[in-house]
Amino acid sequence: MPLAPILMGLILGDDLEQNFRRSLVASQGDYTTFIAGPLNIGLLLATLTVLFLPQILSAIRGGDVKAEFADSGAEV
Which domain covers residue 19, as residue numbers? 1-33
Q: Is pLDDT larger for residue 13 or for residue 65?
A: 13
Distance in Å from the first CA to the final CA of the chain: 15
Let me know whether 41 and 74 are in one domain. yes
Neighbours of 2 (CB within 10 A): 6
State residue 40's pLDDT score.
Answer: 92
CB-based burial, 56-65: b 16+ in 10 Å, e otherwise: eeeeeeeeee
Task: Mark whether 49 and 71 lie in a shared domain.
Answer: yes
Are 21 and 43 in a shared domain? no
Q: What burial class does residue 34 get, using C-beta atoms within 10 Å of its C-beta: 0-12 exposed, 13-18 middle, 19+ buried?
A: middle
Same domain, 19 and 47: no
The 10s digit of each residue's pLDDT in 32-69 is 988 889 999 999 999 999 999 988 888 888 766 566 66
**Count of structural domains within the chain:** 2
Residues 75 and 47 reside in one and the same domain: yes
Same domain assignment for residues 3 and 28: yes
